Chains A and B, each alone.
Chain A
Amino acid sequence: MAARPEPLKVLSVCGVGMGSSLMLRMTVEDVLKKMGVEAKVEATDVSSARGMQADVIVGQGMHTEAFEGKAPVVVAITNFMDKDALETQLTEAFKDQGWLE
């Protein structure tokens, strides 16, 4: 189990990198703040994300599939407004990584 990187490098991805991924970035920032996790969240498009290093990648399932195994944590969301669901998904994934007790 590795120590959690601080700050955590997080990418929120979508097709263009300036609409949905930006909305998602705000949700991710709010949730990580509530979880007390220090993170730097960047919104980007899928093709740019392929060339970037990240600890966590968050996006819609149709986009995150391509990133399975490319980052320690890859989370697929369906509703960017559902902060509770995202918190649950991130908490479980972080525990799997040994990043949370």
Chain B
Amino acid sequence: MTEDLEGGVLAARARRRATDWRDAVHQACAPLLEADTITDEYPRRCVEMVEEHGPYVVLAPGLALAHARPEDGVRRLGVAVITLTEPVDFGHPDNDPVDVVFAFGSPDADQHVSLLSSLARHLVAGLADRLRIAVGDHEAQQALEEIRDDD
């Protein structure tokens, strides 16, 4: 499911299977690719960012936020998330294993600031756990829709 977000997209998918963290990042990016907010270069760049700079995208226990740079193939603002039935390891010293993987792409350095601040607030308030208990895409989408509520 996808919903428009000021010309961008919010998309959630629940309880997917991933073979490893690279597969999980590609799957998290998939709804954005389908909605054409990113090019197929972008998921590859998200993987390369982790390979180049370490698993810093794992922000909290069980939670990753994959992204690359605007020039890596972003057409419009988008945030997607998948939850995994089997968690994957990113190689993070403290926060592995990961079962909630966000992907976001922003077309410039500014557009995503209010969206990411809203995402951060909702994560602090328990959004990741609400996504974890969602059994289907529709329920996960409803949980993710929270982040559009405030600005």
Residues of A within 8 A of B (CB): 14-16, 18-20, 22-24, 26-27, 46, 59-63, 78-83
- Specify the chain A residue showing the minimal Cβ separation from B128: A81
Query: Contact at A22–B113, with CB atoms within 8 Å?
Result: yes
Count of CB-CB pairs between chains A and B under 8 Å: 74
Query: Contact at A81–B124, with CB atoms within 8 Å?
Result: yes
Query: Contact at A23–B69, with CB atoms within 8 Å?
Result: no
Given A15-B49, A18-B69, A19-B65, A80 and B59 contact (CB-CB distance below 8 Å): yes
> Binary interface profile of B, 77-120, with partner A (CB < 8 Å = 1, else 0)?
00000000000000001110000000010100100110011011
- Specify the chain B residue showing the minimal Cβ separation from A83: B124
**Whole-angstrom distance from the CB of A95 to the nearest CB of chain B?**
25
Residues of B within 8 A of A (CB): 49-50, 52-57, 59-61, 65, 67-69, 93-95, 104, 106, 109, 112-113, 116-117, 119-121, 123-124
Query: Contact at A81–B60, with CB atoms within 8 Å?
Result: yes
B residues less than 8 Å from A79 (CB atoms): 59-61, 94-95
**9 A-B residue contacts at CB 8 Å?**
A15-B49, A19-B57, A22-B117, A23-B120, A60-B56, A63-B54, A79-B59, A79-B60, A79-B95
Query: Contact at A16–B124, with CB atoms within 8 Å?
Result: no
- Specify the chain A residue showing the minimal Cβ separation from B125: A81
Contact check: which of A14, A26, A82, A83 meets B56 at CB < 8 Å? A14
Query: Contact at A18–B60, with CB atoms within 8 Å?
Result: no
Query: Contact at B106–A20, with CB atoms within 8 Å?
Result: no
Given A78-B95, A79-B95, A81-B60, A19 and B116 contact (CB-CB distance below 8 Å): yes
Query: Contact at B54–A18, with CB atoms within 8 Å?
Result: no
A residues less than 8 Å from B50 (CB atoms): 15
A residues less than 8 Å from B53 (CB atoms): 14-16, 46, 63
User: Which among B49, B56, B61, B65 has the greatest number of chain A C-beta atoms within 10 A?
Assistant: B56
A residues less than 8 Å from B55 (CB atoms): 62
Q: Known pairs A20-B65, A79-B59; list 13 more (Cβ under 8 Å).
A: A15-B49, A15-B53, A18-B67, A19-B65, A19-B67, A22-B117, A26-B117, A27-B124, A46-B53, A60-B54, A62-B55, A79-B94, A80-B59
